[in-house]
Amino acid sequence: MTGIAEGRVVVVTGAGRGLGRAHALAFAAAGAKVVVNDLGVAADGAGASQGPAHDVVAAIRAAGGEALAHGGDIATAQGAASLVTTAVEEFGAIDTLVNNAGFLRDRMLVNMEEDDWDAVVRVHLTGHFLPLKYAAQWWRAEAKAGRRRSARVVNTSSGAGLLGSVGQGNYSAAKAGIVGLTLVASAELGRYGVQVNALAPAARTRMTEATFADTMAAPEEGSGAFDAMAPENVSPLVVWLGSDGSAGVTGRVFEAEAGRITVMEGWRPGPTIDKAGRWTPQEAGEATRKLLGEAVAPGAVYGAGE
């Protein structure tokens, strides 16, 4: 296998199914050695199985690629550290980290239990932070030893993190946090040769099939129609971001869906009024009303008004 990721060592979390699986297979097809991390849990995080990760490894090896499975919990320090150690000890390095692992526990806010909140924030946000931390420590050590690497991180956010999603307060908050983490990591790690970007994908996976069953159905087999919601449509951008080809691209957030790629433009100053003194509450309200009339309306929260 040869391609844009030739010779790179790539770690993908949550790579046993869905988007992570598609990313792992695409990196392998592009020439990378891949560490496939997955706990094999159910869609709500329950249970565990080594099967999904090993199935992906088997598929990569059957196609002539190199891969190995890692079953550690990347939302723990031990699991995240062992993920990086495994890549370095088995393949000699870590060049690209794709943080993708996650699950859902959807509830309206008034019905959400603390455990539903903690579990989702843990797997998505802590599960991004810890692998990033331990990979960054290795890249820093390499840079200090005079071996500055062309390292890449691709984090997985969501449209829910950018706009919000009704019934997904925990997931939306975690995915918004991933965007903030991406921006900070890009600023802090550039000195070590690390580029960090985030992706908000839309595809048919276990996490989306129930919510978007009508719009995400696959076309009939043999129809020749483009499967717009196939996870494999997202992976080419992830592979490019994880390769040397993306040199100079960092601190960015992208949306990817079907054949569409969008550069997302985040918070930036809009209309402003400066009194150069203290407002009264009434004055502040009148000024704010005026500013809102000049501002661009925010995008609609997913599920609002349904």
Query: For residues 297 and 50, what is the distance between their CA atoms, to the nearest angstrom?
Result: 46
Specify whether 158 is catalytic: yes
Place of tokens 């790179």: 8
Query: Two tokens at 9?
Result: 């060592």
Specify whether 302 is catalytic: no
Catalytic residue among 82, 157, 165, 171: 171
Place of tokens 């005026």: 290
Please give the sequence-ordered ranges of beta strands (E in DSSP) within the chain, or none if there are none.
9-12, 33-37, 66-70, 96-99, 151-156, 194-202, 253-257, 260-264
Query: For residues 151 and 11, what is the distance between their CA atoms, to the nearest angstrom?
Result: 12
Specify whether 165 is catalytic: no
Query: For residues 183 and 139, what is the distance between their CA atoms, to the nearest angstrom?
Result: 18
Catalytic residue among 33, 175, 235, 246: 175
* Of 88, 57, 83, the residue nearest 71 (C-alpha): 83
Query: For residues 153 and 97, what is the distance between their CA atoms, to the nearest angstrom?
Result: 5
DSSP 246: G
CA atoms 198, 181, 145, 95: torsion sign? negative
Catalytic residue among 157, 158, 172, 246: 158
Active site members? 158, 171, 175
